[in-house]
């Protein structure tokens, strides 16, 4: 257990709640008649069909007003697995409420992203999908953002030259709105890694 760091702890309070991961399918509420066990079986089946693959190296990137680890190039295997998970999980998703749509600020989205939001429950899918592992909360102040970026690059420099392998799919659960996520299950992808 590490000692509290008042600077870092404030910057990561959001990402810490949902764990260090990259999202393939946005959080969802279950459609009528669908269960967590059903979803878990579907994810297990997907994992058995997909091969592990390398993302290459990651980079510290500023996305809008937060920082994340991102891929250098979006790979076909990454887009394939995003589409596979998104489409397979869609029957499990209850339609968005008006409040959930409004929270995504649809007027700020492109036409395609608005269509994605209504069709898939999330605007950044398909051609708009961007692999990222969120590192910070929103940072509005430009001077603070520059300092945070410098610190993150220094912090992550030992691992940024090491290729990252996607070798499993994990199902996270948010027990109640705002509660920390927990890992429900982890399903290894097939060996025989694609490069």
pLDDT tens-place string over residues 135-152: 999 999 999 999 999 989
Interval 2-43: pLDDT, tens: 666 666 778 888 898 888 899 999 999 999 999 999 999 999
Interior angle at CA 116, CA 57 and CA 108, nearest 5: 85
pLDDT higher than threshold 60 for residue 193? no
Q: What pLDDT score was predicted for residue 33? A: 97
CA distance 125 to 25: 8
CB 89 within 8 A of CB 82: no
Interval 42-62: pLDDT, tens: 999 999 999 999 999 999 999
Q: Is 170 exposed, middle or buried (0-12, 13-18, 19+ CB in 10 A)?
A: middle
CB 69 within 8 A of CB 61: yes
pLDDT higher than threshold 80 for residue 124? yes
Which of 139, 144, 146, 131 is closest to 59 using CA atoms?
131
pLDDT higher than threshold 70 for residue 192? no
| Partners of 134 in the β-ladder | 68
Q: Can you give the pTM of this predicted structure?
A: 0.88
Mean pLDDT score across all residues of the chain:
91
Backbone phi and psi for residue 67, each to the nearest 5 degrees, phi listed first: -110, 150
Q: What pLDDT score was predicted for residue 49? A: 93
Q: What pLDDT score was predicted for residue 3? A: 66
């Amino acid at each position: 257990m590490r000692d509290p760091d008042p600077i870092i702890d404030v910057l990561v309070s959001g990402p810490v709640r949902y764990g260090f991961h990259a999202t393939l399918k946005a959080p969802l509420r279950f459609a009528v008649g669908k269960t967590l066990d059903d979803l878990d079986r579907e994810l297990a089946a997907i994992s058995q069909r997909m091969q592990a693959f390398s993302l290459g190296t990651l980079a510290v990137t500023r996305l809008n007003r937060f920082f994340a680890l991102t891929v250098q190039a979006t790979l076909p295997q990454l887009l394939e697995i995003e589409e596979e998970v998104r489409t397979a999980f869609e029957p499990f998703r209850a339609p968005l409420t008006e409040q959930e749509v409004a929270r995504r600020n649809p007027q700020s989205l492109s036409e395609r992203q608005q269509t994605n939001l209504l069709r898939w429950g999330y605007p950044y899918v398909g051609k708009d999908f961007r692999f990222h592992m969120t590192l910070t909360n929103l940072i509005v102040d430009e001077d603070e953002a520059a300092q945070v970026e410098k610190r993150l690059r220094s912090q992550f420099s030992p691992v940024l030259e090491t290729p990252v392998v996607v070798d499993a799919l994990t199902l996270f659960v948010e027990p109640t709105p705002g509660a920390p996520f927990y890992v429900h299950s982890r399903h290894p992808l097939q060996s025989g890694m694609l490069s």
